[in-house]
Amino acid sequence: MARIAPVNAKGTRDFLPRDLVRRNRVFSLLRETFEHHGYEPIETPSVENTNVLEGKYGEEGDRLLFRILKRGESLEKAARMLLAEADGDHSAAALSRLFSDEALRYDLTVPFARVIAAHQNDIVFPFRRYQMQPVWRADRPQRGRYREFYQCDVDCVGSRSMTVDAEMVAIYCEVFTRLGYTNFVTRVNHRGLLNSLMAVSAVPEDKRVATMTAMDKLDKIGLDGVREELVKLALGDASVDQLIEMIGLSGTPQAMLAALRPMVADSTEGVEALDELAEVFEYAAAMGVPTERVSFDMSLVRGLSYYTGPIFETVLTDMQFGSLGGGGRYDRLIGQFTGRDLPCVGISFGLERIFDTLSEQDANEEPATTTQALVTLFSRETFAHAFALARDLRAAGICTEVYTEPKKLSTQLTFAKNKGIPLAVILGPEEIAAGAVVLRDMRTSTQRAVPSADAAAQAQALLR
């Protein structure tokens, strides 16, 4: 019989206990931080109607949607339509739409916007929520990039105040600091500012996306590289020079804002953006964000098309890696569902990238398990004592497993070592006769006999 190769679907992974124990630690820390700041959890379905998702992420995003094939009658009907129109539009985009009207969620923001639009009357505004769920993108996998990955989103709906935008910066700072990162910075920019830069530099409408994409590559290809790309776009020397001058600005956010102010003086949108950014930096500092943890970065663009105000991206400063998270203000997304805009700002944490970089930082990973104690088994006659002791340990809050059968002790201890269980409990005929058990600390290779009645308390002390 032909064997089936036990391989994962492209870009997906299995998580074994040692992986999941670590992941859950990160999850817990995020959850705790969000709730400390007054954010409440929600969840949404994995599947959305395609029209909810399409057009929210830009052209690239539509291509990366995982679409769900129609089934049964609908599928046959779609096939008949295709055959009836032999000379119709057979592009991948058109075919996708014909054969599918549902897709896996691409991010957590758009489904969230749908939820807000649908449940406006049940929600107290301003509404702070967080959400940790997998999302799917039909991208080509690379290091730190998967087709199925978890995102943790934090959003606040119903306020135009820059205090909320600053809070996003503060939450980034708190989470990454608590995770042990010492090398990160949250880059901040503003969509309105970018728009006004395009306007005051006389970049034609049809070249603005390409221009911003080129600007976004600054940290990768340098100022000269960006200039080359802009020249290739045939923007004209004056436009190129002005853009390069603005992108090249450096210094404190306050100094950069001051330098920009005269350049965008003719643009209402630009002036407002500068005012908002000034507030964000001021409030973030007041919220305790150190100056080295936040930067004003005019080359930050971000691909998602729904952003309208400040945008954020948190990156590691000492290694070339994708961003650990990003977000921004999107005041007009909910209006696409209800016809009436509701201001929103939110950020996303790339859990996989956090997990990958944390793993790379502490290379000497010890086996991780949730089990704290292993009770060994000797012979049929010791079973009852072992089970009773295991109950004592569990009653004391110690995660305890009893070995499955009476194999020789070295096998059982090796099992404990390989799983990373810190405490082995040995009780054979000798101990039972003495009314005692042996607590062996696997980490220090020390052990001592204690009366069975004290075992749970002593074990607690050892594990503390």
- Which parts of this chain interact with RNA (CB under 7 A)? 5, 7-11, 58, 60-61, 63-64, 92, 107, 137, 139-147, 149, 151, 213, 216-217, 220, 301-304, 320, 322-326, 348-350, 352-353, 378, 408-411, 413-414, 416-418, 426, 428-431, 438, 440-443, 445, 447
Nearest distance, CB of residue 428 and RNA, angstroms: 3
Q: Which is nearer to RNA, 67 or 264 (CB)?
A: 67
DSSP string, 166-209: HHHHHHHHHHHHHTT--SEEEEEEEHHHHHHHHHHTT--GGGHH
**Which lies closer to RNA via its Cβ, residue 169 or residue 264?**
169
C-beta of 29: minimal distance to RNA in Å? 17
Closest separation in Å from C-beta 11 to RNA: 5
- Specify the DSSP class assigned to residue 365: P
Instruction: Write out the H or E segment, with its range, that includes residue 79.
Output: helix 72-84
Q: 321 vs 337, which CB is nearer to RNA?
A: 321
Query: Who's near 301: CB < 8 A, 6+ residues apart?
Result: 189, 194, 212, 213, 215, 216, 311
Give the Cβ contact number of residue 443 at 10 Å.
13
Q: Least Å distance between CB 67 and RNA?
A: 12
Q: Spell out where 300-366 has E strands.
A: 310-316, 325-329, 344-350
By the 8 A CB rule, do 57 and 305 touch?
yes
Q: Are 212 and 325 in contact (CB under 8 A)?
A: no
Q: Which amino acid is at 248?
A: G
d(CA 13, CA 268): 48
Find the shortest distance in angstroms from Cβ 73 to RNA. 27
Nearer to RNA, 103 or 442 (CB): 442
Nearest CB to RNA, comparing residues 120 and 336: 336
Of the pair 80, 140, the CB lying nearest RNA is at: 140
Residues 215/243, Cβ–Cβ less than 8 Å: yes
Q: CB of residue 268 vs RNA: minimum separation in angstroms? A: 27
Residue 286 CB, nearest distance to RNA (Å)? 26
Between 266 and 430, name the residue whose CB sits nearer to RNA: 430
